[in-house]
Chain A
Amino acid sequence: MQIFSCPFCGSRPEYEFHFGGDLGNHRPEGFEAVPDREWADYLYFRNNPKGTAREVWMHLTCGEMFSMTRDTVTMAAAPGETLTEGQP
C-alpha cells in the first residue's frame, strides 16, 4: 500500500486519494472560438509519461487538490505541493 503526502494533512494511505490528471491541463475558455481539436485535447488527451509525472491529485478526506511529482515506473512519490492560489 502506497503512502502519499497531502500538503495539508501529511502522509496518508493511497486509497484516500483520487488521481486528477495531468498538472497544467488548462481549460480553453472562449466557447465557439475553441476549435474541436483543442477542446478534445483538453478533455481527453493525456501526457501519460513513463517516468517523471507532474500530476494533480485530490485528497478525498480533506477535499483539497494538490500537485504531486511521481515516477510512474519506480512509483516513488514526492510530497504533495499546494496548487498556486487562483491558478489552475
Chain B
Amino acid sequence: MTKHYSALSLVKEGLRGQKGWVPAWTSPQPKPRYDVVIVGGGGHGLATAYYLAKTHGITNVAVIEKGWLGGGNTGRNTTVVRSNYFFPESVRLYDMALKLYEGLSRELNYNIMLSQRGMISLAHTPAEMEMAARVVNAMQINGTDAELFGPEDVRRVVPIYNFGPKARYPALGGVWQGRSGTARHDAVAWGYARAASALGVDILQQCEVQEFIVEGGRCRGVKTSRGEIRADRVGLAVAGHSGQMAAKAGFRLPITSYALQACVSEPVKPILDTVVLAPGAGTYASQSDKGEMVVGGGLDRIPSYGQRGNLPVLETVISGLLEMFPSFRQLKLMRQWAGIVDVVPDSSPIIGESPLPGLFLNCGWGTGGFKAIPAGGTLLAHLLATGQHHDISRPFDLDRFARGRLIDEAAGSGIAH
C-alpha cells in the first residue's frame, strides 16, 4: 500500500504494476451528524476542511458536493495566482494565499505545480503608468513584492509582445509581481481533498443540499439528497451558486452570477514564460506546462448560470490576444469552457457569518477565487472553529455594504480579477 507520494513511490509502484496506490480520498456514507459541515466541494470548501482538521484539530467534518469534487470554478479557471492588489486589506488577503501556495506542495504531499513565473499587468499610456506606480507603491508599502516595469523590462520578459509601431496597445511598462504565476488547478483541489480525507474528513460527492435545517433561529444542518446531516456550524463555499443557497436560507446577497469564459490553444513548444495582462485589449494569457496558451478576459455581462458564454466575448478576447501577440495568429483554439462567477459590486469577497446564525459565508470571489483558495480555506476554517473573524477576514464581512465600507478593487487590476 503506497500512501505517500514521492519519486521512490513511483519507482516502487512502477515495478508492481501500480497495484499498491490507494484511493486519493474515501467515498464514505454520510453520517447523520458532524461537528462542521461545509457546503461546496471546490477548492475553497476542501481547503476549509483541511485547515479545520490540520490547524484546529476538528476532524469530524463533512464536505458536501452536489457534483464531483473540484468540478466547479476550481476546475474552470485560468490557474493564475497573484497578490498584485491595491488596498492593504486585499494585499493581506491574497498574499496570505500566495505565501501558503508557496509551501503547499510539500505540505499536502501533492505537486500542485506552482510556477512563480511572474506576472506583468501592462500600462499602455502615460496615465496608466501613473496608475501602475500607484499600485506598485501600495503593494510595496503593504509588504509584497512589486516593481514598476518600463518598456525595456517588458521586452525582456515577454519578447514576443507586440512592440510594433502600429500596436493598438503598446507596452509602456506596468506592474510586475515576480512571485505571481500559475498553479495546476485540479491538483489544488485534489491535493486538499486527499489531505483532508487522510485527516478524517468525509467528502460526500453527488450529495445535493436541498434545504437548511433552521431551529431556534439558528442553522443546525442541512437536508440533502442523501439524507439529513446536522452540524454545529455550517460553512458555505459555493461560488456562483451562493445566491441560490442564500435564498434557501432566507436572505439575499450582493451577488450576481455571470459566465466567465476561458480557453486553451493547441499545445506548442514553450514561447511564453510569464503571465501577461493587457488591460486595453481586455485579455490575459499564460502558457501551461503542457504547452497550451491559457487565455481569459472579461465577463459575459449577462447574468447566467449556464456555465457557457457566447461568441462576442470569445471573439473579443481572442482578437485582444492576437493584438498582444501577433505570432499567435499561427495558433488554433482547442477547448473553451466557462465557470459561474459570483460578482460583488466592489469585486472583493464576502467572508463572515451570514444573516442566519450558524451559517458562515465564503463567497463573492468573482473572477478571482482560485488565487485565494488557501486563504479562503484558512479564514473560513477560523470562523467555523472559533465563531470569530480572523483579522484578515474582518474587513470582508457582509456588513461592509450597510456601512458603505466597500473595498473597491476595480481600479486595482484592470479586467477580470
Contacts and interface: CB of A to CB of B under 8 A. Distances in A.
User: Direct A–B touching in the complex (beta carbon < 8 Å)?
Assistant: yes
Interface of A: 1-2, 13-15, 18-19, 36-37, 39-41, 43-50, 53, 55, 72-75
A46 B312 contact: no
A50 B302 contact: no
B253 to A, nearest CB: 7
Interface in B40-70: none
12 contacts: A1-B311, A2-B310, A39-B402, A43-B401, A44-B254, A45-B401, A46-B255, A48-B252, A48-B257, A48-B303, A72-B257, A72-B303
B256 A48 contact: yes
Given A45-B254, A46-B252, A72 B312 contact: no
Contacts of A19: 301-303
Q: Which of A2, A46, A73 has the most CB of B within 10 A?
A: A46
B243 interface: yes
B244 A50 contact: yes
B305 A36 contact: no
B243 A48 contact: yes
A14 B255 CA distance: 22
Contact of B252 (A18, A41, A53, A73): A41
A53 B116 CA distance: 42
A54 B87 CA distance: 35
Contacts of A40: 254, 401-402, 404
B399 to A, nearest CB: 9
Contact of A48 (B253, B302, B402, B403): B253
A14 B303 contact: no
Q: Could you say which interface size class chain B belongs to?
A: 20 to 34
Interface in B291-322: 301-306, 310-312
Interface string B227-253: 000000000000001011001000011
Query: Closest 3 A-B residue pairs measured CB to CB?
Result: A48-B243, A44-B254, A40-B402
A33 to B, nearest CB: 16
Given A40-B401, A72-B257, A46 B243 contact: yes
Contacts of A50: 241, 243-244, 257, 305
Nearest to A37: B402
Contact of A72 (B254, B301, B304, B345): B304
Nearest to A44: B254
A1 B190 CA distance: 35
A66 to B, nearest CB: 15
Given A46-B253, A50-B244, A15 B305 contact: no
A19 B257 CA distance: 12
Interface centre among A13, A18, A50, by most B CB within 10 Å? A50
**Quick one: which of B241, B255, B402 has the most chain A CB within 10 A?**
B402
B333 to A, nearest CB: 17
A25 B69 CA distance: 36
Interface string B400-413: 01111000000000
A18 B300 CA distance: 11
